[in-house]
């Protein structure tokens, strides 16, 4: 599981759309609790240098540039599964209905319209080229 710190809420939502299940860490949770929460194979995405040093598997982000950050995450071995998106609100895998997707938790419908085309800009270039719509 991937945990994303509270500085990167937008990044967490976009990763879900790109098929990466990730937990957003509430800003009220302190560092010691975060470390306790993490299992052996969990990855922490953070901009907190001190915290990242205390976690075995962490990805340190230096700024808020979403595209750069997604590239860093991918280069750290996290695989984007863009055909199997998660609900960006609930972090639940969406069910596919033709060319639409539905979240069984919140009931929202998603399809790859204008919003998706805007989000695609954040994909690493190699993945963008392999996509059709
Ligand atoms: Zn949902």
pTM of the complete model: 0.92
Distance 91 CA to ligand 1 centre (A): 7
Distance 129 CA to ligand 1 centre (A): 28
The domain of 54 spans 2-130
Of 70, 74, 110, nearest to 94 by C-alpha is: 110
Structural domains in the chain (count): 1
Predicted pLDDT at 128: 78
Distance 120 CA to ligand 1 centre (A): 20
User: Can you list the alpha helix ranges (DSSP code H) found in 1-133?
Assistant: 9-17, 31-37, 49-54, 66-75, 114-120, 125-130
Predicted pLDDT at 74: 95
Of 128, 7, 18, nearest to 73 by C-alpha is: 18
> Worst-scoring range by mean pLDDT, 19-23, 41-45, 128-132?
128-132
Q: What is the pLDDT of residues 86-128, one digit of tens each?
A: 999 999 999 999 989 999 999 999 998 888 888 999 998 878 7
Averaged pLDDT, 56-61: 96
């Amino acid at each position: 599981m991937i945990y994303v710190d509270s500085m990167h809420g937008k990044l967490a939502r976009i990763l879900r759309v790109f098929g990466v299940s990730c937990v957003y860490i509430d800003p009220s949770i302190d560092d010691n609790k975060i470390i306790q929460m993490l299992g052996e194979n969990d990855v922490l995405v953070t901009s907190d240098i001190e915290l990242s040093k205390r976690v075995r598997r962490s990805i340190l982000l230096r700024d808020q540039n979403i595209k750069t950050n997604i590239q860093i995450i991918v280069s750290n071995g996290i695989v984007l599964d863009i055909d199997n998106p998660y609900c960006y609100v609930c972090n639940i895998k969406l069910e596919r209905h033709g060319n639409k997707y539905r979240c069984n938790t919140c009931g929202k419908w998603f399809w790859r319209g204008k919003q998706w085309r805007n989000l695609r800009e954040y994909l690493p270039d190699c993945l963008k080229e392999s996509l059709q719509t």
